[in-house]
Structure 1
């Protein structure tokens, strides 16, 4: 048992929203924005090997080659693997770099869909030249990042005449492929599609690609046979080309609504009472948000093109001429969080909230808008209460680091750590008697999906909550904090560690531990670690500074 020395704000990785739901359920042409660009020129034609088609083994990815692209500095490994999709199993090649991160450039992954009849060895070697040029640019401190792009000269990529651009998306881990350094997902697109993203938002392009591929939030692979995602009217009919916009990396927006979009307004409006609009800011997005808010053009209004919120399970999708809201949904993540491509905010005499295209518009009284802008410039959180159909508005700053109070270990989540508590009616935090629990995932969402199910993990969490609630009962005493770290292991094994604050109550901890040892745990395919954080009788008070 370890003494808990620091004041803890309970947080959980982005994947925990699914677990929280399981616990609760009882089981718009303006000035063109500056963009991150690198110009790549490739001159080598795409040689292809003629190898008989052989499906990858069912048990994981197969390494085809590890190419030394820059002698002693940069390697690219090509894998053959399969992906289960709603349309059936898909065969893929994935290229993964090793050697960019020491230069400060995130590693880069390309995945390419294999067509029927293509052999494992028929992968396109032209991409090795792209990696070499990215490496050369990185040596000059010219980096690509999320919502950046590269435009290529020379022959098109992958043998498709209109593939001359690459866009970069957040990382999407692939089962069976190691990820030892931060990386970007690279998707090859047409330059018309890149212009769509540049002028009206990368999240708009990614959501369209996801809708076409039936893969949330967006496919991590390039499909050489897919249709182009641009449409007539993309620019002329969009509100986003009528005013100056700010591209903001590391910032996203979501609508939180109990019951998701199935919970509709009884009026003609989009929003319903109880809605909450959250502007989520990661540390690397804070500086750009401050700069955008401080600009003179933002004195009266701000139009921000944003990333897809990683905690959401639904995304708005927009095509010119569509009659109403269109969405893409992750079938396993629930629909209570809906992300958008943009957020527009301005001042108006009366509060008003609208949804248009694939984003949200919020109109505030002048004094309220002034407060919000001041908070954005200062880099501070702010909450504006909702009223009627006007949703609550929240600016939240999210850390990417979590320090465990059990062993002091630091956990990093590039997408940030977000509070996740079992919710009751109306989405409020659910209280279990005198204890208030929240969950911290210490195993990534991707790894958890490979090793167990949300229902099984939530079942263990509920049992831990029940054990603590039973031990606390109706006892009286000062408030305290308790952390129980659980690791599920293959063979139906489990381990528990307990941390307490402000003092270590050994008899209480021993009694809780005995109850925990009686919990039957499910079989898992690999280690699954999480913490359940409790405030008992309101929790302890932080020590005076």
Structure 2
């Protein structure tokens, strides 16, 4: 991971809130980024805030002429939290009129795992993403997940670009959206505590436990046609649908063969005396159910229990996400306890190794044997051991994310804390992706291996 360099500091509320501007990160096409990070919001009861802005020549080498709006936003959140109002992932700030000569009309917030390295406690800050022109209005009416996915498609960054380019055009217009989406005729409920993904065999919805009962109450009030505007990030789906307006089914993300799970930007629920149906609608999923099934679903949510329903060849699961896992690659929520294993083999180059199974144990057991999994994990651990033994680094933690599925190449990601050489990290990733995983027939197997390094 690239080390950041502090180049500018500013007191926003003396003794209470300040901000630092860092350089060091860059966009996928190698443009420099100014990283603005708050200090002091957490003391007031609000997650710290980070904004990434693409640098321009006129900003100056010390960012003295860089945009000021991140400082305004940090101060605004500080004022709000002192008044008892907080924002979190899935939240938003709307402006009365476009600001700063950049057409900014609002901000969307998501958790920012990479930003945790900016803070001593390692707590994930929020990442604020500026929305321009009609984007904020569209996001508020039809979902922040939809707009962020369109931004991802515009920049070819999955799931969305974590930086703001002052020159980028808006990705959508409100009138175009309203004329072309079925959401215009539905009661919409912002539900960032809900995520949805599916393929040809299943649609899986995950709801955070503390939101299950309130969600049931909101659905009762909404009536028989409601659309949940779901989370803009997904625990495990590596692809996400994108709204195109022409009914052409389009997704962004990691190319996958077979029948991958694809995240949706909303879940439309319809209670009607008609044939039950589950299908993809625009960039989301639709579920038509008879009234008795609708009532059963609401009762399950109120009780905080899982609900399953077979609709033809598709299994629908509404899971209560009882387990959370903060990963460098995303924030996972699952309906099953996440299993963590610690290998007993003595290891000279690391003080600890943990294997975190992101796929449920019973699913793994139907696809591969314990011996196959152990053998492959040892290959990964051995490859990492060999690599780090010869690298000079100042990293205390290294995490390898592994995913393999039918008819698809092995997919490995690498994350480190501290200073780890980029070139060596890339070579290690290539070596890991060259390993041969055990074959699987139907389901995705995903896990992480966490290494505590001596440095």
- The two structures share one fold, judged by TM-score above 0.5: yes
Are 1:416 and 2:342 counterparts? no
Tell me if 1:199 matches 2:175. Answer: no
1:110 is aligned, of 51, 56, 73, to 51
In the alignment, the residues of structure 2 paired with residue 99 and residue 335 of structure 1 have an alpha-carbon distance, to the nearest angstrom, of 46
When residues 145 and 175 of structure 1 are mapped into structure 2, their CA distance, relative to the original with a 3 A threshold, is closer
Change over 3 Å in CA distance of 1:328–1:155 after alignment to 2: closer
Identify the residue that residue 366 of structure 2 maps to in structure 1. 429
Q: CA deviation at 1:103?
A: 2.1
Deviation (angstroms), 1:312? 1.3
How many angstroms does 1:233 deviate by? 1.9
Determine helix, strand or coil for the equivalent of 2:176: coil
CA distance in 2, matches of 1:81, 1:279: 38
The corresponding residue for 1:397 is 320
Matched, 1:173 2:173: no
- Cα deviation per residue 1:225-267 (whole Å; 9 max; x = unaligned)? 0011113521122110112111112111111x3xxxxxxxxxx
Q: What is the deviation of 1:303?
A: 1.8
Alignment CA distance shift 1:84-1:112 (3 Å): closer
Pairwise mapping of residues 19-34 of structure 1 onto structure 2 (< 5 A)?
Answer: none
Shift of 1:67: 2.2
Q: How far apart in 1 are the matches of 2:435 and 2:132? A: 46
Q: Is 1:453 paired with 2:391? A: no
Gaps of 5+ in 2: 337-357, 378-396, 402-412, 417-424, 439-447
CA offset at residue 415 of structure 1? 3.9
Tell me, in whole angstroms, the C-alpha distance in 2 between the residues paired with 1:110 and 1:152.
Answer: 17
> Secondary structure of 1:196's partner?
helix
Displacement, 1:114?
Answer: 1.3
Question: Does the CA-based 8 Å contact 1:317-1:358 persist in structure 2?
Answer: yes
Q: Take 1:335 and 1:454, find their aligned partners in 2: how far apart are those partners?
A: 25
- The two structures have a TM-score, normalised by structure 1, of 0.61
Provide TM-score, normalisation by structure 2: 0.72
The equivalent residue for 2:353 is none
The 10-residue stretch of structure 1 (343-352 or 330-339) with the greater mean CA deviation from structure 2: 330-339
| Map of 2:422 onto structure 1 | none
2:239 aligned with 1:314, yes or no? yes
Alpha-carbon distance change, 103 to 281 in structure 1, aligned in 2, over 3 angstroms: same
Any idea what the Cα deviations from partners look like across 1:61-118, whole Å, max 9, x if unmatched?
2111232222221121111123351xx2121001111211222211111110113564
Q: What does residue 283 of structure 2 align with?
A: 358
Q: Give the RMSD, CA atoms, in angstroms.
A: 4.0
- Does the C-alpha gap of structure 1 residues 432 and 175 become closer, same or farther in structure 2, counting only changes over 3 Å? same
Higher relative contact order (CA closer than 8 Å, sequence separation 6+): 1
Q: Compare CA radii of gyration and give the structure with the larger one.
A: 1
Q: 1:432 to 1:197 in 2, by over 3 A?
A: same
Q: Which runs of 5+ in 1 are unaligned?
A: 1-57, 258-271, 404-410, 463-484, 492-525, 527-545
Judge conservation of contact 1:282–1:399 (CA < 8 Å) in 2: yes
Q: How does 1:32-71 map to 2 (within 5 A)?
A: 59-71=2-14
Report how many residues are paired. Answer: 380
For the 8 Å contact 2:206–2:335, the answer to whether it is kept is no
Q: Compared with structure 1, are the counterparts of its residues 340 and 247 closer, same or farther at alpha carbon in structure 2 (3 Å cutoff)? A: same
Deviation per CA, 1:316-335, whole angstroms, max 9, x where unpaired? 00122x24101111359997
Partners of 1:251 and 1:454 in 2: CA distance = 34
CA deviations on 1:423-477 (whole Å, 9 max, x unpaired) are: 99x99832416999899xx976799434663973996998xxxxxxxxxxxxxxx
Q: Secondary structure at the match of 1:164?
A: strand
Deviates more, 1:223-232 or 1:118-127: 118-127
Alignment pair present for 1:286 and 2:212: yes
Cα distance in 1 between the residues matched to 2:155 and 2:253: 12
